[in-house]
Structure 1
């Protein structure tokens, strides 16, 4: 079953659509979203439906930066009980760590991670967001919305101590690069491994002002009592490691097992108990990422081959024919024609 997300994540959607001269009702009906639930903190809907809705809305309104625009209609309150804990954390980093461990409260399909070192910006940390769905659909607008909300919410909490060094996005944007750079006020790098904000370490170390420790404890206690942590199955963990390591020297069975602190045979036994195998998961991850790279980026086929950890471009061609019944160049051309 696909992950759910709080309907509050679409707050402002009807207003934005109407401001752009479009009736939101037909698309909401198509993706089974009740407009009346969008102001609720508790209603849940399919995360996949939200991703599809945002892509379809961008196409219908002919708005390449739809996700960025929607973020301007949202506040940190869309995170529900998480927002209270974050606004009353002792430091920006403490709030980020809490969000990283409890983002499942908003949606188990959203993975928020703090990486200690940025490979793009000096003296900076990298804060990333991932939409985790099987058979991943096109998600440019959803990723843009997530990054924009992260930017707006963190800037709200940090105030004048907010220092964004760079932004990385995993796709080739439809909107111009200058549109992104104006929105974020920082350089933007495309076709990157992750969707991330690269923030100065001084921002993460900043104390929050006007913190109410009692409110924080109430919010944390509410979350601990009412929500169950989602650690994921072994197959989910293997899938995530492979997404992070394909194209490096660490995507072999032994390397992945080592990263998960397991013996390779133990990992295989646990995967077998979940009716899968390392090889099957790696094939699925390659299939998903191949389509994403072909449909959402302009990366050369040779570079895609390397990113998927395949030995040669001919292997990519064989794999695409097996997965999708067509050569990589044909898949890319068909997608662009469809767009």
Structure 2
């Protein structure tokens, strides 16, 4: 038995309720805590998760339950791993990180590149399994492959060359049709392993949101993940805010989306580091504003806009709070100091 972080159950409650079922009852009968349905870091056995998915599918008459859950999930559930994937250079690199670090979220599950199981030239495979000599349950397969497919389409920005979907179980007619609609490709059951076959080279599929700096930060967080991810979170948030400053709204939700972390998770990580989103943003604004005031000749109204204030009056109030003086006085003081050094 392996353990899975409860973030992987995201969407279970909503999908069960949508179908008219009782998510808490199914969770209890499957051997898991009800609280796991609404948390992200509780550890749940993979057997309990598989049982819950299969029970829901069977009792609610929904053979594509796993696929429906997959439509409610996104990369933010993977935390730093999701960030590394999102900002990788190519689909091949992204898959390498999933192969190396998926254990952080699900000990026994594996998603990795493999040669094409049918041996076709110019075709690659992405295989999902539950560990050595273990076959994943049908709904677990639908959840993971469905999630991976949606993520690939989002990362690449469109079709990525899907050739076919190979399943170890034989899907019912309803499930097979749901797979074809979801993947928009042929589906075959009774195969040796769960594999998505892709035409072409995964390394040639470039990701549309590749950002080298955010990618490096994510890798640093992954390297230290088992110690304390809060050690890196302030730097990650400051970097994300620096990218967005003066361009897009500087909100917790926007930054959490950019770094592929749920807003509540990001808030908790910052609190664990003894700070908050508001404090990190305020400190960055203060630092950036001083640099612009003392190192450029930008009008004060433009400095205000550069640090995310729509009105110069708001910036003026913050300047007094930061330095006990107006922005103009701070600039003048810096210029006088520079002149004195030149004369001496």
Output the TM-score relative to the length of structure 1. Answer: 0.62
Runs of 4+ in 1 over 6 A off after TM superposition: none
Structure 1 gaps of 5+ residues are 229-339
Quote the Cα distance in structure 1 between the aligned partners of 2:80 and 2:46. Answer: 19
**What SS does the corresponding residue of 1:108 show, helix, strand or coil?**
coil
Quote the Cα distance in structure 2 between the aligned partners of 1:88 and 1:72. Answer: 21
Deviation per residue, 1:119-171 (Å, 9 max, x gap): 2655220000001388x587111111111111111111111252211110001
Quote the Cα distance in structure 2 between the aligned partners of 1:112 and 1:137. Answer: 13
Mapping for residues 129-208 of structure 1, pairs under 5 Å: 129-132=128-131, 139-176=137-174, 177-202=176-201, 204-208=203-207
Aligned to 1:106: 105
Quote the Cα distance in structure 1 between the aligned partners of 2:168 and 2:195. Answer: 9
1:53 aligns to 2:52 (yes or no): yes
Judging changes above 3 Å, is the alpha-carbon distance between structure 1 residues 214 and 110 closer, same or farther for their aligned structure 2 residues?
Answer: same
Quote the Cα distance in structure 1 between the aligned partners of 2:31 and 2:65. Answer: 20
Give the structure with higher Rg (CA): 2
Deviation per residue, 1:76-123 (Å, 9 max, x gap): 222232111100111111111111122111212101120144526552
Deviation at 1:64, TM superposition (A): 1.2
Mapping for residues 55-134 of structure 1, pairs under 5 Å: 55-119=54-118, 122-132=121-131
Quote the Cα distance in structure 2 between the aligned partners of 1:133 and 1:55. Answer: 21
Quote the Cα distance in structure 1 between the aligned partners of 2:212 and 2:38. Answer: 27
**What SS does the corresponding residue of 2:41 show, helix, strand or coil?**
coil
Count of aligned residue pairs for this structure pair: 226
**Do the aligned partners of 1:8 and 1:41 also contact (CA within 8 Å) in 2?**
yes
**Do the aligned partners of 1:64 and 1:175 also contact (CA within 8 Å) in 2?**
no
Quote the Cα distance in structure 1 between the aligned partners of 2:85 and 2:91. Answer: 8
Aligned to 1:236: none
Quote the Cα distance in structure 2 between the aligned partners of 1:187 and 1:73. Answer: 23
Deviation per residue, 1:258-284 (Å, 9 max, x gap): xxxxxxxxxxxxxxxxxxxxxxxxxxx
Deviation at 1:225, TM superposition (A): 1.6
Structure 2 gaps of 5+ residues are 228-344
Judging changes above 3 Å, is the alpha-carbon distance between structure 1 residues 132 and 202 closer, same or farther for their aligned structure 2 residues?
Answer: closer
Aligned to 1:18: 17
**What SS does the corresponding residue of 1:94 show, helix, strand or coil?**
helix
Deviation per residue, 1:3-35 (Å, 9 max, x gap): 111111110111111111111111112234344
